[in-house]
Amino acid sequence: MTAATVTSTGKRPIVVFGPSGTGKSTLLKRLFAEYPTSFGFSVSNTTRLPRAGEVNHKDYHFLTRPEFLSAIERKEFIEYAEFSGNLYGTTVQAVRDVAEAGKTCILDIDVQGVKSVKGTDLGARFVFVAPPTVEELEKRLRGRGTDDEESVLKRLETAKGELEYGNSEGACDIKIVNDDVDDAYKKLVDFIFSE
């Protein structure tokens, strides 16, 4: 265990970041399928009301707006955002909970979130997933078919800053160029199990 590791189980979270469309979800889906009991996502907090069948502390930690705002004040969040009038966010404690349960927490977050995790004592390791080229990234975003033109252009614009950050000194522990998906997946697994 390194000095930066503070969870009692020594399970260091893995932060995966990189522009939208680089293939983070694709790689992580494979990882969870191959190792279903080794990894976990943290339970998010939200102010939205539970839907039928949703279980508090399992699907989400359901909070009132004042509770959520107090947690923001106490700087408990790694990241949070408002969508359609509801607040959503991930706390440091939620990440720690995954480690305490004996699993490696996987965080798929944006650059702001990455910077925020770096300011915590979670002892996380950082994986930057990069596209082979910006042209290929654009092709994948269009090929995925989940975004309209405006959204694709917005994602590409955001990608510039994310690539710049990911390529900057000390931003990540490993940069994986997701060209061939099998190669990229192998690099990810090798890195994760390298300690």
Ligand X SMILES: Nc1ncnc2c1ncn2[C@@H]1O[C@H](COP(=O)(O)OP(=O)(O)OP(=O)(O)O)[C@@H](O)[C@H]1O
Q: In what order do the strands lie in the sheet with 39-40?
A: 39-40, 104-108, 14-17, 125-130, 174-177
Q: Is 24 in the site for ligand X (CB under 6 A)?
A: yes
Q: Is 26 in the site for ligand X (CB under 6 A)?
A: yes
User: Based on CB atoms, which residue is closest to ligand X, 135 or 169?
Assistant: 135
Q: Is 144 in the site for ligand X (CB under 6 A)?
A: yes
Candidates 3-11, 53-61, 90-98, 140-148; binding stretch for ligand X (CB under 6 A): 140-148
Q: Say if strands 44-46 and 39-40 run parallel, antiparallel, or are unpaired.
A: unpaired
Q: Is 21 in the site for ligand X (CB under 6 A)?
A: yes
Q: Where are the beta strands (DSSP E) in the chain?
A: 14-17, 39-40, 44-46, 60-62, 77-83, 86-91, 104-108, 125-130, 174-177
Q: Is 143 in the site for ligand X (CB under 6 A)?
A: yes
Q: Is 178 in the site for ligand X (CB under 6 A)?
A: yes
User: Based on CB atoms, which residue is closest to ligand X, 22 or 45?
Assistant: 22
Q: Is 116 in the site for ligand X (CB under 6 A)?
A: no
Beta pairing partners, 45: 61, 89
